[in-house]
Chains A and B, each alone.
Chain A
Amino acid sequence: MTVNQNELLSALVDGELQGKELDDVLQLLNTNEQARRQLQRYQHTSDLLHDHSVSHHHIDLTDRVSAALDDDAAFTTSSNNTAQIIAFPKHFWKQAVSLAVAASIGALAVVGVMTQPENQLIQPPQMASVEVETTPMVVAKTGKRWTVEEQEIEERLNSYLVDHNEYAGASGVFSYARVVSYDMGQ
């Protein structure tokens, strides 16, 4: 044991080593039993000064703990429980937004249909003082199928629901949304 090595061990007791010096002293402790004993004596002196010591003998648990941990694999950097950012695919957000829009439309359609009283014709609101000739949009229930009298509106609504159904079916999510299918033929 050189003076420099003992000085490193003394600095190790004080927690004042880092980097290459710490590497060197760890290497020394791995290969030199005398260095381990010297470190323990320095540490024991420090413990005695701080009244941390329970015995005037050195207590060495390293062998016992090492033996008990023999079967434990050494940790790897990847096993560290460090915080990691989950990277979503670039198209994730686009798909998520599309899904959210489709689900909202589907939900609105379901809620709208469910809140209509049976066999009720939907009347446009009457304006109190202005006489305007209105063309009522009439939705009627024929059997299990709703019909809209205006072809353009019916086609647009059909298109929304078919799009929604296709998306729901393709994504594998919300497949139950098929119940809102407007036209069984589509």
Chain B
Amino acid sequence: MDLELVQRVQAGDKKAFDVLIMKYQQRIVHVITGFVHDPVEALDVAQEAFIKAYRAIPNFRGDSAFYTWLYRIAINTSKNHLTSRARRPPAVDVDAMDATNFYDAAELKEFETPESSLMTDELQKTIHQAIEGLPEDTATAIKLRELEGMSYEEIAQAMECPIGTVRSRIFRARDAIDKQIQEIMGEGE
């Protein structure tokens, strides 16, 4: 599906790139924080990596998976950022552009705090508990998908049911997990 999204971007559909960002932004920021420890800078580098990826996407031919390609861009952008930062003094003020990033920066400052780690652990525990509380078929479907990384077709073969049923079971599992998370996060609609 990534390739189809990439082809849509190449054909002029900018919004298709939003889906790729939404899909990979957590992973990319996670990768970048291995190089850039400052949360504000990590977000800036992630943004720069996605911008570079968008501008280079006409050259993406699908020789590798999109994420592999994006990952390399993120790594190179991180390294370039570290190199350039070593040559210039750290920024001491916030200009108008940075001001728009304050909300995200405030969130990222929690990356390394004990409270943040505790909250993340709590969420993961909630997700696993929610999965264990699901009907067996639904729990198996989401486990095979999320923990084993199997495709819908593979899950359908393993569970001896139609692909549509697999899709429906995985959705029901996600919906149940989402409700549990929203109770914790206070994001109820």
Contacts and interface: CB of A to CB of B under 8 A. Distances in A.
The finding on whether chains A and B are genuine partners in a shared complex, rather than unrelated, reads yes
A55 B119 CA distance: 9
A14 B145 contact: yes
A41 B54 contact: no
B104 A59 contact: yes
B18 A59 contact: no
A22 B127 CA distance: 27
A53 interface: yes
Contacts of B23: 13, 15, 43
Interface string A64-92: 11101100101111011110000000000
Interface residues on A, range: 35 or more
B12 A74 contact: yes
A57 B110 CA distance: 10
Contacts of B13: 26, 74
A95 to B, nearest CB: 35
Interface in B105-151: 107-108, 110-111, 116, 119-120, 122-124, 127, 145-147, 151
Which one of B17, B18, B170 has the greatest number of beta carbons of chain A within 10 Å?
A: B18
A40 B181 CA distance: 13
B57 interface: yes
A158 interface: no
Contacts of A22: 1, 4-5
B55 interface: yes
Contacts of B116: 55-56
Interface in A1-38: 6-7, 10-18, 22, 26, 29-30, 34, 36, 38
B43 interface: yes
6 contacts: A39-B19, A45-B174, A56-B123, A60-B22, A65-B51, A82-B61
| 7 interchain residue pairs of minimum CB distance | A10-B171, A15-B1, A74-B12, A47-B26, A7-B171, A56-B119, A52-B27
